[in-house]
Structure 1
Amino acid sequence: MRSRSLHIPRATPLFLLAAAGYLAVGLYLALGVGYLQGDALSRVADTRAALLSRDPHLAAIGFIFTPLTALAQLPLVWLSEWFPQLTRWGLTSIAVSAPAMAGAVVQVQAIARERRCPAWMTWLLTAAFALHPMIIYYGANGMSEALFVFFVVWAVRRLVRWMTTDDVHDLIVAGLALGLAYLTRYDALAATGTATLLVAAVAWYRSRRGAVAVLDGLLVAAPTVLAFVVWSATSWLITGSALAQFSSRYGNAAILEQSGGGSAGGLEAIAFSAAEIIVTAPALALVGVVCVTLAARRRDPEPLALLLPLAVLAFATLAYLRGLTFPFLRFYIIAVPLLVLCAVFLAPRHGRMRARRPGPRPVDRADDPSRWTAPVSAIAVLAVVAGLPVSAAAMLSPELSQEQHALHAAILPRLGYSDPELRREQEAIIASFDTERRIAEYLDSLGLDDGSVILDTMQGFPIIASTSHPQTYVIPSDRDFVTALNDPGAHGIEYLLTVPDEGRGAADALNLRYPTIYENGSGFASLEAEVVNSGHDRPTWRLWRVVGS
C-alpha cells in the first residue's frame, strides 16, 4: 500500500510563528507586567458569568457588545473552574486575539501571493504588517480588534478574488466574513454596506442585468443582516431592548455621558481623527494616491475591495465627530491593513488566479509593462516600513494614545521620564486591577457560601474575573438579582460591595436602589472595610456587612 505524505498548507508555519509571537507578548504583558485592558477583562468576566456563576446561562454574556469575542473564549473559561489564573490574568482573551491576528497576517500574505507580487515585496509587506506596533499590541491584549481586523481583511481578500474570478464561492465567503465581523464589532456595518453596494455595482457593470446585481449584493449582505436581526431580536426578547449598546445604562452612550467622554465635534474632532490615522499609517495618503492612480491606469478592479477598510475608517471618524465614541487610537487600527494592501496593489496583477468554479465573467490579468512599476513599489514598501517607528512613538504619547501610552512604563521602565506625574499615572494604569484582585482573594479566603456577596459588575467585573469562587457573588446577570437587591438579608446576602455614587458609579445598581449605601450603609449594613484603589481611574471600594433588612 502506498503511503501518503502529510500535506501542510504553506501558510501554516507563518500562522504558527505569528500566533506564538503575539501570545508570548500577551503573556509577558499579563503575567510579567500585570498590564490588562479593561474591555478585554470585562468580556472575560461576562463569559465566566455565563458558565460558572451561581446562575449560569448563555444570556449572561450580555447584549452591550456583540458576542463573538466572548463566545470564542467559552472552552478556556470553562477550564478556569480548576485554573482560575486563566481568567484572573485575562489569558483566555489573549488565547483568542493572538491566533486571530495571526490569521490576519496570513490573509495579507495570501493577497500579495495571489496578486503575484515579487517574493521580496510579499515578505517585506507581510512583515511590516505583522510587526506593526498596533498589530502586535492588539494581537496580544485580548481585545476585539484582532478578530475584527482578521474578518475585514479576509473579506477584502475574497472580494479581490471575486473581482477576477467571478466565483460565487468567493462572494459567499466574503459575506460570511463580514457577518462574523459584525458579531465582533458594530463597525462592520459600514464595511458590509459598502461591500453590498460595490458588489451590486460591479455585477451590474459586467452583466447589465439588475437581477444579477441584486442577487450578488444580497449574497454579501445576507449574513450580516441575519446576524443583526437575530442578535437584536434576542436582545429585545431577553432584555426588552433591541439595541442595548445605545439604551442600556451599561452601554456606550451611557458610559460616555457618565465619564464626560466623546468629542466636542467640528473641525477639532476631524483634525483629531486625521491625526490618529496619520500616526497609525503614516504613508497612507501617499501610497493610497499612487494606488488609485495605477489602478485607474491599468483598469484594475481589484483595489476597489479596499473601500471596505476605508468605510470603517470613515465610520470611526464620523462616530467621533458626532460624539458617539471615545478618542481612542484603536478605533483607527484598520488603517494598518489598508496601508499595507494599498502597497500590495502597486504591483501589477498577473498570472491566473485559481478558482473552484469560475463565474461566467472572469477578468483577464495582464502584466503592466511600465518600467516605473518596480521602483515605485520599492519606494512604497520602504515608506510603509519607515512608518513603523512613527506609529510606535505615537502609541507612547498620552495626547495621541490614551489607552496605550502606559506601555512606556511596561516596556521601558528604566528610561527616564521628564514628567514624574506622568510616570505615576502610567504605573497606576498598569496596576488598574490589582486592587480588585486583592478584594477577590480576601473574599475567597473567608470561605463564604454561594450568593453571599452582591455587587454590580459595571465596576466589579475584575473581581468576577479574578475570584476562585464566582458562585459567591450575586451579579446583575443573575435572574434573581433584583429580588436579592431589594431585600439582601432575606436572600442570604452577607456582604455588599459598593462604589462612590459619581461618574460611572452613578449607574451602579446598588447606588440606584440605595442612594446612601456608599455613605452610611442605608441603615441595614455596617462598614467592614474601605479599600483605596491603586489603579488609575478606578473606584475606592467599600465592603459592607448586612446587619438587618
Structure 2
Amino acid sequence: MGESRSGARVARYLYAACALLYLITGTFLTAGRGYLMGDALSRVSATESALFSRDPHLSAIGFVFTPLTSLAQLPFVAVQPWFPGVTRWGLSGVLMTALFMAGAVVMIWGIGIDRGAPLWLCGLVTAVFALNPMVVFYGGNGMSEALFLFCLCWGVRRLMRWVRTDGVHDLVACGIAMGLGYLTRYDALAPAATAGGFVFAVSYLRRRGGEHRFSGAAMDLVLVAAPVILAFLVWADTSWLITGEAFQQFTSQYGNSAILSQSGAEAPSHPIAAAQYSIGATLILAPALPLLLPVAGALALRRRDLQPLVPMLLCGSVLGFQTLSYAMGSTFAFLRFYVAAIPLAAILVLVLPPARGSAPTRRLGAYAPAADSPVERAAASAGAVPVFGTALAALLLLASLPATALGMNSQLMAVQEYALGAVLFPDPNNVSPKYNDEARIAATFSTERRLAEYLDAKELPAGTIVMDTVYGFAIQIASAYPERFVIPSDRDFVRTLNRPLEHGVRYILSVPNSGRGTSDAVNRRYPTMYENGAQIATLELEIPNDGAGQPNWRLYRVIGG
C-alpha cells in the first residue's frame, strides 16, 4: 500500500511538472514567437464559433474532424471576453494539449509501476518520453496528437493490466479510452479493432474446456468494443442529422480527401516509396525500435507473457494504418502521424524486466494468472534480463532524443516541424533558401492578424463581413469582434451569401479560386469574385500574404453597402 501511495504521489508531481513544461513551451512558441499550426488554429476557431460567433451554437464546431479536441477547449475559450489572447494566439489549444500530453506521460509511468519495473527504470523511461522533442512540441501546440497519445497510452495501460488481472474494470476503461480516441482522430479505429480481436482471442483461449467459452469471450469483446461502437454511431448519426452527411471527413468539400485533391497531392508513385517514408518516419521518432521489438518479443515468448503484445499490437496498428493510408493517397506524409512509435519504444523498454508483484485491480477475474504460482516464477526467472542489459536499452532510448531532434529538422521528412529552427534561432542575416522557407512558415497567419486589426478598426456592426473559414479562420480568431463575420456555420449563411446587400453585408473577403480556394463558399457561389467582384462588389484592398501556403487576400466592398 505504501508503494502504491508513493507511486500516486509521484504521478501527481510528474503530471504538474510536465503540464507546466508543455504550457510554457507552447505559450513561448505561439504568443511569444507567433508560430501557429493551421489545424490547431482552426479548432480554436470552431470552438470560438460555438460560443461567441454571430450565431453561436454547439454544432458550429463542425463535423469534418472528430469533436473532442474542440469540446475539450470550451472551458478555456469561454474566458475569451476577458482574455482575448486565449483565442488570438491559440492558447486554449496550448492548454488542452499540455494537460493531455502530461496525462500521456503519467500513463507511461503508470505502465512501469503496474508491472513492478524498477523505479530507476520507470523514472528514466518516463523522462525520456516526456522530453522527446516531438512530445514537447506537440504537447504545447494545440494539435490532436496529445489527446490521441493520452487515449492510446491509457488504453494500452488498462489492457496490459487486464492481461494480468482479467478484471472487468480494466476492459471497460480500455474501451472508454479507445472510444475517446476515436472522437479525437479517426485512425483510432485501428487500435480499437486490434484491441477487440486481442481480447476475444485471449479470453477464448483462457476458457479452454469451459462450458461458456465462446459466450464469455464474446462478452469480454462487447465490454471493450461497446464504447467505440457507441462513439462511432453517435458521431455519425449526429453529423447526418445536422448536415445530411455522416462522414464529412470523406465526403465534404472541406474534408481530408477534398484537401488532398485541391492541393494537388498525389499518392506515392509506388507502395515501396510509401513504405520507405513510413519506415523512415518511424525510425526518426523511435530509432531503437529495430532492436527493442525482437528482444521484447523473444522475452515475451520465453516467459509466455502476453503483456508486451499489447503495445506492439495497438501502437503497431496505428503505424500500419498510417502507412496504408499514405500508400493509398488518402493522407499526407506528415511525421506526426507516426508519433505512436514513441510510446511503443518506451513501453518495450519497461517490459524487458519480468513482471513483479500483482497488478493493481479492484477485483481479480476468474481467469487471472496467479502472480506467485510456480509457473509464473519459473517464467520470470527463465526470461530474466541482467540489470546491465536493461540499463543499456534505456540508454539506447535516451540516445534517440538527438536523433529525433535532427530528424525534425529535415525538410523532406518533417514538413510541419522543420521550421522550428527559424522560430527558435531567428537569424535575419541568413539568406539561404531553406532558412527563407522556414521563416515564411514561421510567419504563417501574421498577415491574417494584420487584416483582422484593419477590419476591427472600421467599427462595423455585427454580420457585415462575409467569408468562408477555409482560410478565414485565422482572421476570425485574431479579431476582437468575431460576431462581425458571417461564416458557413451560421444557419443563415447561404441566404446571406445569396443576397448580401439585403442582409446588411458591407464587405466580402475573397481568396483565389484555385487550389483549396475552389472549396471556398464565396468562390463556389461567385466564381469570379476574386478577379472582378462578380459585379456585386468593388475592390477596396489587396493584401499579399507573408505566410507559406497562404493565399493573397482581396477585400471587396458590396456595391450599395
TM-score interval, normalised by the smaller of the two chains: over 0.9
1:528 is aligned to 2:532 = no
Question: How many angstroms apart in 2 are the aligned matches of 1:354 and 1:84?
Answer: 44
1:324 is aligned to 2:324 = no
Question: What is the aligned partner in structure 2 of residue 361 from structure 1?
Answer: 367
1:303 is aligned to 2:308 = yes
1:338 is aligned to 2:344 = yes
Question: How many angstroms apart in 1 are the aligned matches of 2:265 and 2:136?
Answer: 27
Question: What is the aligned partner in structure 1 of residue 393 from structure 2?
Answer: 380
Shift of 1:456: 0.3
Partner deviation per Cα, 1:14-61 (whole Å, 9 max, x = no partner): 000000000010011012111010000000000111111111111110
Question: What is the aligned partner in structure 2 of residue 172 from structure 1?
Answer: 172
Shift of 1:8: 7.3
Shift of 1:190: 0.3
Shift of 1:498: 0.2
Question: How many angstroms apart in 2 are the aligned matches of 1:39 and 1:190?
Answer: 22
1:240 is aligned to 2:266 = no
Out of 222-231 and 352-361, give the one that drifted further.
352-361
Out of 350-359 and 360-369, give the one that drifted further.
360-369
Question: How many angstroms apart in 1 are the aligned matches of 2:360 and 2:247?
Answer: 42
1:315 is aligned to 2:321 = yes
**CA RMSD for the aligned pairs?**
1.6
Question: What is the aligned partner in structure 2 of residue 31 from structure 1?
Answer: 31
1:21 is aligned to 2:33 = no
Question: What is the aligned partner in structure 2 of residue 347 from structure 1?
Answer: 353
Equivalent position amino acid for 1:213 in 2: A
SS in 1 for 2:557: strand
* CA distance 1:468–1:219, shift in 2 (3 Å): same
Aligned 1:265-304 pairs, distance under 5 A = 265-304=270-309
Shift of 1:9: 3.6
Equivalent position amino acid for 2:282 in 1: I
Shift of 1:372: 4.0
SS in 2 for 1:100: helix
Instruction: Name which of 399, 410, 426 aligns with 1:397.
Output: 410
Equivalent position amino acid for 1:98 in 2: A
Aligned partners of 2:34 and 2:443 also within 8 Å: yes
Shift of 1:416: 8.5
1:156 is aligned to 2:156 = yes
SS in 1 for 2:36: coil
Question: How many angstroms apart in 2 are the aligned matches of 1:545 and 1:133?
Answer: 46
Question: What is the aligned partner in structure 1 of residue 262 from structure 2?
Answer: 258
Aligned 1:406-445 pairs, distance under 5 A = 406-414=419-427, 420-445=432-457
* CA distance 1:262–1:170, shift in 2 (3 Å): farther
Q: Which runs of 5+ in 2 are unaligned?
A: none
Question: How many angstroms apart in 1 are the aligned matches of 2:128 and 2:77?
Answer: 33
Question: What is the aligned partner in structure 1 of residue 12 from structure 2?
Answer: 12
Equivalent position amino acid for 2:253 in 1: R
Question: What is the aligned partner in structure 1 of residue 464 from structure 2?
Answer: 452
Question: How many angstroms apart in 2 are the aligned matches of 1:325 and 1:430?
Answer: 23
SS in 2 for 1:238: helix
Partner deviation per Cα, 1:159-204 (whole Å, 9 max, x = no partner): 0110001110011001001100000000110011000000000100
Partner deviation per Cα, 1:127-159 (whole Å, 9 max, x = no partner): 110011111010011101000000000000000
Moved over 4 A (4+): 414-417
Question: What is the aligned partner in structure 2 of residue 514 from structure 1?
Answer: 526
SS in 2 for 1:526: strand
Equivalent position amino acid for 2:104 in 1: A
Question: What is the aligned partner in structure 1 of residue 91 from structure 2?
Answer: 91
Partner deviation per Cα, 1:492-542 (whole Å, 9 max, x = no partner): 000000000111001111111111110111112111100001101100000
Question: How many angstroms apart in 1 are the aligned matches of 2:130 and 2:348?
Answer: 16
Instruction: Name which of 199, 223, 230 aligns with 2:227.
Output: 223
Shift of 1:369: 2.6
Aligned partners of 2:353 and 2:385 also within 8 Å: no
Shift of 1:415: 10
Aligned partners of 1:496 and 1:545 also within 8 Å: yes
SS in 2 for 1:527: strand
Question: How many angstroms apart in 1 are the aligned matches of 2:428 and 2:120?
Answer: 36
Aligned partners of 1:346 and 1:373 also within 8 Å: no
Q: Which runs of 5+ in 1 are unaligned?
A: none
Question: How many angstroms apart in 2 are the aligned matches of 1:270 and 1:230?
Answer: 35
Aligned partners of 2:352 and 2:385 also within 8 Å: no
Question: How many angstroms apart in 2 are the aligned matches of 1:532 and 1:157?
Answer: 50
Shift of 1:301: 1.3
Question: How many angstroms apart in 1 are the aligned matches of 2:197 and 2:290?
Answer: 24
Shift of 1:355: 1.4
1:49 is aligned to 2:49 = yes
Question: How many angstroms apart in 1 are the aligned matches of 2:439 and 2:118?
Answer: 45
Could you state the TM-score of these two structures normalised by the residue count of structure 2?
0.95
Aligned partners of 1:54 and 1:478 also within 8 Å: yes
Question: What is the aligned partner in structure 1 of residue 484 from structure 2?
Answer: 472
Shift of 1:414: 4.3
Could you state the TM-score of these two structures normalised by the residue count of structure 1?
0.97
Equivalent position amino acid for 1:398 in 2: Q
Shift of 1:262: 4.4
Aligned partners of 2:149 and 2:340 also within 8 Å: yes
Question: How many angstroms apart in 1 are the aligned matches of 2:482 and 2:81?
Answer: 9
1:537 is aligned to 2:549 = yes
Question: What is the aligned partner in structure 1 of residue 509 from structure 2?
Answer: 497
Question: How many angstroms apart in 1 are the aligned matches of 2:469 and 2:426?
Answer: 32
SS in 2 for 1:187: helix
Partner deviation per Cα, 1:440-463 (whole Å, 9 max, x = no partner): 111111110010000000010101
Aligned partners of 2:476 and 2:482 also within 8 Å: yes
SS in 1 for 2:366: coil
SS in 1 for 2:541: strand
* CA distance 1:156–1:321, shift in 2 (3 Å): same
Shift of 1:364: 2.8
Equivalent position amino acid for 2:75 in 1: P
Equivalent position amino acid for 2:387 in 1: A
